[in-house]
Amino acid sequence: MAKEMQSVTVKVLRQDPMVNGGKPEYQSYSVPLEQGATVLSILRYISENVDRTLSYYRSCRIGKCAGCKMRVNGKTCLACTTAVTGDITVEPLKGYEVIKDLVVDMNRRVG
């Protein structure tokens, strides 16, 4: 008998300044959880298999560039090095202008 793959719920704060007056709203996704999954790999799964409109930043994928810095469960972290072991809430980095969803303008601080 095959082992059933565990899934996690990923709640993402979505925001597009060009749509709906830029009002942020949470959207939830159910994602299969593979061993060794990171926040970045989970976001990639969502954008490739569930919702191609999800925007997030990825570049080096090894924790060097810090471009994937965001908040996960209320704490600032790098998406490429943060392990996922259960349900998560993902939000853009606080204090910066949101370009779209989880992508912020690192040159434009707000608040």
Mean pLDDT: which of 6-15, 19-28, 66-75 is highest? Answer: 6-15
Domains parsed from the chain with CATH numbers: 7-109 (3.10.20.30)
CA angle 82, 63, 57 (to 5 degrees): 80
Tens of pLDDT, residue by residue over 23-41, are: 999 999 999 999 999 999 9
Cα separation, 99 vs 82, in Å, equals 23
Mean pLDDT of the chain: 90
Which has more pLDDT, 32 or 19?
32
Q: Are strands 88-91 and 7-14 parallel, antiparallel or unpaired?
A: parallel
Is the per-residue pLDDT at 85 higher than 90? yes
Q: Residue ranges of the alpha helices (H) in the chain?
A: 39-49
Cα separation, 79 vs 82, in Å, equals 5
pLDDT for res 111: 67
pLDDT for res 63: 56
What whole-number percentage of the chain has pLDDT above 90?
Answer: 74
Report, as an integer, the average pLDDT of 17-22. 82
Cα separation, 37 vs 110, in Å, equals 32
Is the per-residue pLDDT at 1 higher than 80? no
CA angle 32, 24, 94 (to 5 degrees): 85
CA angle 51, 52, 54 (to 5 degrees): 75
